[in-house]
Amino acid sequence: MFEKVLIANRGEIALRIHRACREMGIRTVAVHSTADDNAMHVRLADESVCIGPPPARDSYLNIPAILSAAAITGADAIHPGLGFLAESADFAAMVEEHGFTFIGPSAEHIRLMGDKVTAKRAAVALGIPVVPGSAGGVADAAAAAEAAAQIGYPVLVKAAGGGGGRGMRVARNLEELEIAVPQAQGEAKAFFGNGEVYLERYLGKPRHIEVQILADGQGGVIHLGERDCSLQRKHQKILEETPSPALNVAERQQLLTTATDAMRKLGYKSAGTIEFLYQDGAFFFIEMNTRLQVEHPISEMVSGIDIVREQIRIADGAPLGYRQEEVRLAGHAIECRINAENPETFAPSPGCVSSYHVPGGLGVRVDSALYQGYTVPPQYDSLVAKLVVHGTSRNECLMRLRRALEEYVIGGIETTIPLHQRLVAAADFINGDYDIHWLERFLTRR
Ligand code: MV4
Give the model's pLDDT for residue 7: 99
- Nearest Cα to Cα of residue 94 among 79, 107, 82: 107
Class of domain 4-103: alpha beta
By alpha-carbon position, which residue is closest to atom 14 of ligand 1?
Answer: 202
Q: Which atom of ligand 1 is closest in space to residue 284's alpha carbon?
A: 15
Angle at Cα 140 formed by Cα 139 and Cα 146, nearest 5°?
A: 95
CA of 230 to the centre of ligand 1 (A): 10
207-442, superfamily in CATH? ATP-grasp fold, B domain (3.30.470.20)
| Residues with Cβ within 8 Å of residue 422, at least 6 apart in sequence | none
- Nearest Cα to Cα of residue 50 among 98, 19, 10, 90: 10
Binning pLDDT at 50, 70 and 90, where does residue 166 land? Answer: confident
Binning pLDDT at 50, 70 and 90, where does residue 310 land? Answer: very high
Give the model's pLDDT for residue 385: 98
Give the model's pLDDT for residue 164: 72
Binning pLDDT at 50, 70 and 90, where does residue 176 land? Answer: very high
Looking at the predicted structure, is the pLDDT value of residue 352 above 90? yes
> Is 3.30.1490.20 the CATH classification of the domain at 132-201?
yes
Domains 132-201 and 207-442 share a fold: no
CA of 370 to the centre of ligand 1 (A): 32
Q: Note the Cα 444 to chain centre separation in Å.
A: 26
By alpha-carbon position, which residue is closest to atom 17 of ligand 1?
Answer: 165
- CA-based max dimension of the chain: 62
Binning pLDDT at 50, 70 and 90, where does residue 132 land? Answer: very high
Give the model's pLDDT for residue 335: 99
- Nearest Cα to Cα of residue 92 among 75, 74, 76, 79: 79
**Whether residue 291 lies in the annotated active site:** yes
Tell me the angle at which helices 107-114 and 116-125 cross, rounded to the nearest 10 degrees. 100
Q: Are strands 77-79 and 101-102 parallel, antiparallel or unpaired?
A: parallel
Q: Average pLDDT for residues 240-267, to the nearest whole number?
A: 98
Domain ranges (residues) in the chain: 4-103, 132-201, 207-442
CA of 347 to the centre of ligand 1 (A): 24
Q: Average pLDDT for residues 280-287, to the nearest whole number?
A: 97
Report the chain's mean pLDDT, rounded to a whole number: 97
Q: From start to end of 63-123, where are the E strands?
A: 77-79, 101-102
Dump pLDDT digits (tens) for 133-165: 998 999 999 999 999 999 999 999 999 998 777
Q: What percent of the chain has pLDDT over 70?
A: 100
Give the model's pLDDT for residue 162: 80
Q: What residues does ligand 1 touch, defined as CB less than 6 Å away?
A: 131, 156, 163, 165, 168, 200-203, 206, 208, 232, 235, 277, 286-287, 436
CA of 165 to the centre of ligand 1 (A): 7
Binning pLDDT at 50, 70 and 90, where does residue 358 land? Answer: very high
For the sheet containing 364-368, what is the strand order? Answer: 282-289, 269-279, 207-216, 221-233, 236-242, 332-339, 383-391, 364-368
Q: What percent of the chain has pLDDT over 90?
A: 96
Catalytic position from the list 291, 313, 365, 400: 291
Give the model's pLDDT for residue 51: 98
